[in-house]
Chains A and B, each alone.
Chain A
Amino acid sequence: MDKYDEIISSLYDGELDNDQTEKAMGLLKDHKDLSKRVAMYGVISAAAKLEQANVVDINAKKSYKNKVLWLSNGLTAAASVLLTVFFINQPDFSRLGVDRDSQDLINLAISSPEAQKIANLKEDTLVNHVLNLVNNDSNLIDQQPIDLRNVGFNLTDKSRRVYSNGEHNFIMQVEKKKFNLKKIRYWKHGNKDIYLVPLKDGRTLTLYGNLDRSTVQEIVKNIK
């Protein structure tokens, strides 16, 4: 059976000539279990390409601390930056859905040195902030934590500004650095979401954790 399986693997990759393809199709017709294998190969492809679909490719802390090294990773780094650019330009909550349609553009853009430069210059600060955040290296402003009890969240770790309501856990902090944001921006990192919210006084609020949009909206309304 292994021989058949290897043929199906080659068919899956489009690496058979016309006659071989015909024969392989015949095998699939006669051996229904081979279709199952094709489906599993599809799952494996989805898993292998998982990182391409990630919004920000966050590697070990050392990787981004040395920016030259990080950027020298070429496509991976450029893709990370460009994905970030696309994703953070969501104008408001109603459009916070991940704009996967731009993936094709990104795939084209990642091979362009100009695109890398522009993306790097424009979004450098924000990208670094997000990288810092997910590596627990962000700077908190020296102030009292915000009280969120009226929206159902308790402060469970004062030093790190961790809030929880049992279901959702997140870090919320006001940043020292000025980002001059005009609108809310949004990233994903693994199963967590990162929101940067401009406040009326010009400061920026960061929320990072397993948060859904409606919860963020409620929290932001409470703060503003």
Chain B
Amino acid sequence: MKNNNTEDSQLIEKAKAGNMEALNFLMTKYYPRVYSSLYSYTKSKEDSEDLAQATFIKAWKALDSFRGDSAFFTWLYRIAINLAKNHFQSSSYKKQKLNISEDERLYESEDPQNIETELLHEDALRSINKFIKTLPENLRTSFVLREVEGKSYEDIALITGTPIGTVRSRIFRARETILKFINEGMLNG
């Protein structure tokens, strides 16, 4: 059985070694969850964007200290929430944006006002969540075991009694179906 903490280990090692593609992938993968967590905490789009950005800058700088004792998201989450707490403890938080140096701005996301960010608000997430529940049972089971329970493909194959290739395909098809719903049902609907 695969340890869930190793999910991103290859990419993290590559990022630690200076591979910017790997780093970008990790940031892109986790930005929505970090942003969503921060939004639950701050209820402010602007604060969440600033804090998510600060989280990734801090994570980038501290990446060598990540030992893999916890899942990568847990580590990011701690950074994000500590930053959010500090942010709100600051007496001037309402007036000031996070002070990020020019050097750090190099790592700003390319397009913060993009569709992904817009989709990260609670109503949109709820609509997607609701749609997930309507997926065909075989797709939904594999997808939920992966996304919600954090099971590896190998574990899911054992649980569902299907080959790993089928699990891989079902999870992919579930994602494609959800993307289709987002593109056709939410963005154009």
Contact = CB atoms under 8 A, between A and B. Distances in A.
Given A6-B169, A50-B126, A100-B37, A13 B7 contact: yes
A51 B74 CA distance: 17
A12 B77 contact: no
A52 interface: yes
Given A40-B116, A98-B41, A46 B171 contact: no
Interface in B1-37: 6-11, 14, 19, 21-22, 24-25, 28-33, 35-37
A40 to B, nearest CB: 6
A48 B116 contact: no
Given A9-B175, A14-B9, A46 B146 contact: no
Name B's interface SS: helix
B105 interface: no
A211 to B, nearest CB: 13
Given A21-B10, A47-B132, A101-B85, A39 B168 contact: no
A98 B81 CA distance: 10
Of the listed residues A14, A37, A101, the one surrounded by the most CB atoms of chain B closer than 10 A to its CB is A14
Contacts, number: 133
Interface in A204-223: none
Interface residues of B, number: 58
Interface string A193-206: 00000000000000
Interface string A30-71: 000001011111111111111111000000000000000000
Contacts of A29: 21
B41 to A, nearest CB: 5
Interface in A79-119: 97-98, 100-101, 103-104
Of the listed residues B11, B22, B28, the one surrounded by the most CB atoms of chain A closer than 10 A to its CB is B28
B116 A98 contact: no
B104 interface: no
A97 B85 CA distance: 9
Contacts of B7: 13-14
23 contacts: A6-B169, A10-B168, A13-B153, A14-B8, A15-B153, A21-B11, A35-B28, A42-B31, A42-B32, A43-B119, A43-B182, A44-B175, A44-B179, A45-B29, A46-B120, A46-B125, A47-B128, A47-B129, A48-B144, A48-B148, A50-B36, A104-B70, A104-B74
